[in-house]
Amino acid sequence: MIEDKNPQRTPLSDLGEFKLIEHLTKHFKVSQKSTVKSIGDDAAVLSFKKKQVVVSTDLLVEGVHFDLSYVPLKHLGYKALIVNLSDVYAMNATATQVTVSIAVSNRFPLEALEELYAGITTAAKLYNVDVVGGDTTSSTSGLIISVTAIGEVDEDKVVLRSGAKPNDLLVVTGDLGGAYMGLQILEREKEVFKVNPNNQPDLSMYTYIVERQLKPEARKDIVELLNELNVKPTSMIDVSDGLSSEVIHLCKQSKVGVDIYEDKIPLDPQVISTCEEFNIDSTTIALNGGEDYELLMTISQEDFPKIKGNPNLTIIGYMTDEDRGMHLVTRAEEKIPIIAKGWNALKDQS
Amino acid sequence: MIEDKNPQRTPLSDLGEFKLIEHLTKHFKVSQKSTVKSIGDDAAVLSFKKKQVVVSTDLLVEGVHFDLSYVPLKHLGYKALIVNLSDVYAMNATATQVTVSIAVSNRFPLEALEELYAGITTAAKLYNVDVVGGDTTSSTSGLIISVTAIGEVDEDKVVLRSGAKPNDLLVVTGDLGGAYMGLQILEREKEVFKVNPNNQPDLSMYTYIVERQLKPEARKDIVELLNELNVKPTSMIDVSDGLSSEVIHLCKQSKVGVDIYEDKIPLDPQVISTCEEFNIDSTTIALNGGEDYELLMTISQEDFPKIKGNPNLTIIGYMTDEDRGMHLVTRAEEKIPIIAKGWNALKDQS
């Protein structure tokens, strides 16, 4: 795909490491007050004064986390940032800086890296974070992207995974399962393409879910909304591995149980129809799908009036005493134990 | 080599991602006051009060930065931290936290990762930094390690690359070229081993340089020494790519020139004798070798009495006006322009 789109191919060896970094990072602008010194020294220098600093890091590996046969590099750069920013927002913090390191084999021309960095630049601008450092090196095989995201938060506003209490409401943003179903569509089209390369896929029925997979967004808006509503969640996590995996984290770290109501789980109509098409249960997908980058939080009952009816926040259950366990209450009012079947990067790959 | 040393081989898939992270990180202790919340949430929470924060990141890729046929995994874990801590010290800062991400293929058993983490733990303890986060995922081929190091420094003590002035003294710590010559020895022994696997290498003549390559140290002690001496360098950088490459960075960013005196460059006797054995010029190795992780700094003339005769600090030249250029003054008193021939990860590999 890279070859088709970029008739111009400048070998990376034409530039060398320093010139490559200079070339790729020249468009990055500093917008955060806390950035004292950005790219160009041994380390970036940041200043947070009284705020606390949150740090999160993720590694994206070609063939494990992404497949370049259907992921455009620009989208990949964008998504690499989103995945990390999402972790910062899950702390109820404001993302301020990122570092981006890439290892890349010589099969990538400069133009491909420019695409990747265009996506990084777009996300950095939209989410108002400064790219303050990174490393660019070669790889013997595929593309590897490592992003570290940094954020700031007032000491009394940090939200951990461990603060949920029995009777707290379980609240999720947006809708679930879309990113996973988008991946199923892309995988299917890839197989079709292999058989008949002239076949032009019609993805118009799946725009929402394909976009959820290829160009997810992080819920910066929710941190701002919670602040406006004057609501501090008692615990929070981002939904990267699927609802069941994340709620188990909250329960275990908070030492509580949970009842999730199947009929309350927010699903986009496209997720429902695509699940029907693939003949799979949409609740299973919402529970185990992953990569939605929504926020899952617990909110004290007394804050209920503040969030009631807000279209961004769906109450899907409530926390219980730990010994009550973790359950899904089905439409048939059966109670099924929740177990983590989330995406396991180490088990699925070889 | 991994196979020989570890008769016990537990497949990574036996654990899954969360249990693997838990298993590998359970020995990490928090010792820094600035670490509020370490591993186990969406992000680590740090608190630096009035200090400034420095952040640096590096990516180490198997087959590019290290060769597991002669690098023990424990040493590799150690070195992965050192490489990043060195960047923090080059800002005249104190390293406080690191995040460590690894991507690993299933050919590595759990015991191999335990070795790697043993090295990480040893370095973290010795350099008094907290491991506060990371990511563990699979790779389709080799081992990839991404480390982000965080440090703190008083606002008025940060040393950038850009502060050197004409007439400042150029000072380097320790000695140069050892790590590169150690690598030559290891590469040679690897070739010998390929021809005759029963041949036991005798490395006793090369202990110092092989250790410089396999288990380098970062100059935490120098930041403390400079503080005790009440000397703030006008500019500083760590020597990772070789003296010539680093001094060019200082000159370009400070807009000055430099004269380096060949006869002042500190060389260990083992570097000199090994260079003779390989029939290569030791000055060339000191200029271009890389991976020594010493600190190169410029110091104002008025601080000369404070550093004079200190065995850790060698004056190797002085800075000049920018239009005088960058030169090496040879033993024969010839002036040769300094050019960067440092290790280029993108050019050397394919």
What CATH number is attached to the domain comprising B39? 3.30.1330.10
Nearest of B51, B48, B82 to residue B66 by alpha carbon: B82
DSSP string, A145-175: EEEEEEEEE-GGG---TT---TTPEEEEES-
Cβ burial B43-71 (10 Å sphere, 16+ → b, else e): bbbbbbeebbbbbbbbbbbbebbbebebb
- A13-27, B88-102, B111-125, B277-291: segment of lowest average pLDDT: A13-27
Q: What CATH code is carried by the domain that includes residue A219?
A: 3.90.650.10
Rounded to a whole number of angstroms, the distance from the CA of A245 to the nearest CA of chain B is 10
A110 and A23, same domain (yes or no): yes
Q: Which H or E run contains A275?
A: helix A269-278
Q: Which of A224-238, A256-270, B185-199 has the lowest mean pLDDT?
A: B185-199
- Supply the pLDDT for residue A78: 97
Q: Is residue B161 part of a domain?
A: no
Is-contact A134 A100, C-beta < 8 A?
yes
Question: Which residues of chain A from 59 to 118 reach within 8 Å of chain B, CB to CB?
Answer: 59, 61-65, 86-88, 90-91, 93, 97, 99, 101-103, 105-106
Binding residues of A for Mg(2+): 42, 56-58, 87, 135, 238, 241
In chain B, the residue whose alpha carbon lies closest to the alpha carbon of A86 is B42
Show which of A97, A129, A157 is a domain's final residue.
A157
Single-letter amino acid code for the residue at A126: L
CB atoms within 10 A of CB A19: 12
pLDDT computed for residue B26 by the predictor: 80
In chain A, residues with a C-beta closer than 8 Å to the C-beta of B17 are 344-347
* Residue B342 within a domain: yes
Tell me if B58 is assigned to a ligand binding site: yes
Are A153 and A240 found together in one domain?
no
Average pLDDT, chain A: 91
- The three-state secondary structure class of A187 is helix
Q: What is the structure's pLDDT at A4?
A: 47
What are the distances in angstroms from CA B123 to CA A234, B217, B223, B330, B336?
36, 9, 17, 38, 40
Pairing assessment for the beta strands A256-261 and A326-329 based on DSSP bridges: parallel
Higher pLDDT, B190 or A323: A323
Inter-chain contact A59–B345, Cβ cutoff 8 Å? Answer: no
The answer to whether B92 and B236 have CB atoms below 8 angstroms apart is yes
Residue B134 C-beta-side C-alpha neighbours within 13 Å: 30
Question: Does the CB of B233 have a partner CB in chain A at under 8 Å?
Answer: no
Q: Say if the Cβ atoms of B148 and A57 lie within 8 Å.
A: yes
List all residues 6 or more positions away from A198 whose beta carbon is below 8 Å from its beta carbon.
none
B151/B186 same-domain check: no
Whether residue A153 is found in the same domain as residue A174: no
Residues from chain B contacting residue A345 (CB–CB below 8 Å):
17, 137-138
Tell me which of A239-253, A285-299, B28-42, B52-66 is least confident.
Answer: B28-42
* Cα Dmax for chain A: 65
What per-residue string of b and e applies to A82-94 under the rule 16 or more CB within 10 Å gives b?
bbbbbbbbbbbbb
Mean pLDDT confidence for B321-333: 96
Is pLDDT of A346 > 60? no
Where a domain ends, among A126, A157, A188? A157
Domain boundary residue among B130, B155, B180?
Answer: B155
A88 shares a domain with A36: yes
Residue A290 near chain B (CB below 8 Å): no
Three-point CA angle A22, A26, A30, nearest 5°: 125
Mutate to test the interface with B, among A131, A346, A350 (most CBs of B within 10 A): A346
Strands B94-104, B130-133: parallel, antiparallel or unpaired by DSSP?
parallel
Burial annotation B218-241 (CB, 10 A radius, 16+ → b, else e): bbbebbebbeeeebbbbbbbbbbb
Q: With contacts defined as CB-CB under 8 Å, which chain B residues touch A55?
A: 43-44, 46, 97, 99, 132-133, 148, 150
Q: A-chain residues within 8 Å CB-CB of B36? A: 52, 158
**What is the tens place of the pLDDT at every residue in B113-165?**
999 999 999 999 999 999 999 888 888 878 999 999 999 999 999 999 999 99
What domain range is A252 assigned to? 169-348
B115 and B211: one domain? no
In a domain, B240, yes or no: yes
Residues A211 and A152 in one domain: no
> Which pLDDT score, from 0 to 100, does residue B7 have?
56
Residue A47's closest chain B neighbor by CA? B52
The token pair that represents B136 in the structure block:
């563990």
- Residue B39: what pLDDT? 87
Give SS3 for B296.
strand
Please state, in angstroms and rounded to a whole number, the distance separating the CA atoms of residues B350 and B346: 8
pLDDT tens digits for A47-95?
A: 998 899 999 999 999 999 999 988 999 999 999 999 999 999 999 999 9
Provide the annotated binding site of A for ATP. Answer: 117, 134-135, 161, 240
Q: What confidence tens digit (pLDDT) does each residue in A155-186 have?
A: 999 999 999 999 999 999 999 999 999 999 99
B57 in a labelled binding site? yes
Q: Count of domains in chain A?
A: 2
List the single residue in B with minimal CA-CA distance to A14. B347
For residue B104, the cross-strand partners are: B138
**Looking up tokens 């920013």, which residue turns up?**
A85
Residues B176 and B151 in one domain: no
Task: Name the one residue in this structure whose structure tokens are 């986390």.
Answer: A65
Is A163 a domain residue? no
H or E element: which one contains B214?
helix B207-214
By residue count, chain B amounts to 350
Q: Is the pLDDT of residue B267 over 60?
A: yes
Distance from CA of A193 to the nearest CA of B (A): 23
Are the beta carbons of A55 and B137 separated by less than 8 Å?
no
Residue A198 shares a structural domain with residue A59:
no
- Does any domain span residue B212? yes
Q: Find out whether B89 is annotated in a ligand binding site.
A: no
Substitution target in A58, A144, A148, A154 with the highest count of B β-carbons within 10 Å is: A148
Could you give the CA distance from residue A290 to residue A331 in angstroms, rounded to a whole number? 22
| 3-class secondary structure per residue, B78-122 | HHHHHHHHHHHHCCCCEEEEEEEEEEECCCCCHHHHHHHHHHHHH
A95 in a structural domain: yes
Query: Which chain A residues contact residue B250 at CB under 8 A?
Result: none
Q: What is the pLDDT of residue B315?
A: 98
B244 is in an annotated binding site: no
Question: A142 with A200, same domain?
Answer: no
Identify which of B54, B91, B148 has the shortest CB distance to residue A148. Answer: B148
Contact flag B43-A61 (C-beta cutoff 8 Å): no
- Residue A307, Cα to own-chain centre: how many angstroms? 24
Q: In this structure, are A127 and A100 located in the same domain?
A: yes
Determine the residue among B22, B89, B148, B348 to mutate to test chain A binding: the one whose Cβ has the most chain A Cβ atoms within 10 Å.
Answer: B148
Is residue A68 within 8 Å of A62, Cβ to Cβ?
yes
The pLDDT score that the predictor gives to residue A185 is: 95
Domain assignment of residue A143, yes or no: yes
User: Is the confidence metric ipTM above 0.90 for this complex?
Assistant: no
Instruction: Please indicate, yes or no, if residue B164 is contained in any of the structural domains.
Output: no
Q: Are A135 and A88 found together in one domain? A: yes
CA distances from B7 to B2, B10, B109, B111, B112 (A): 9, 10, 10, 9, 11
Q: Which residues contact B244 (CB under 8 A, 6 or more apart)?
A: B287, B288, B338, B339, B340, B341, B342
Q: What is the spatial distance between Cα B18 and Cα B12, in angstroms, rounded to a whole number?
A: 11
pLDDT band at residue A339 using 50, 70 and 90 as cut-offs: confident
Report the sign of the C-alpha dihedral through residues A170, A173, A178, A183, in that order: negative
**Phi and psi at residue A141, in whole multiples of 5°?**
-130, -100
Partner A contacted by B138 (CB < 8 A): yes
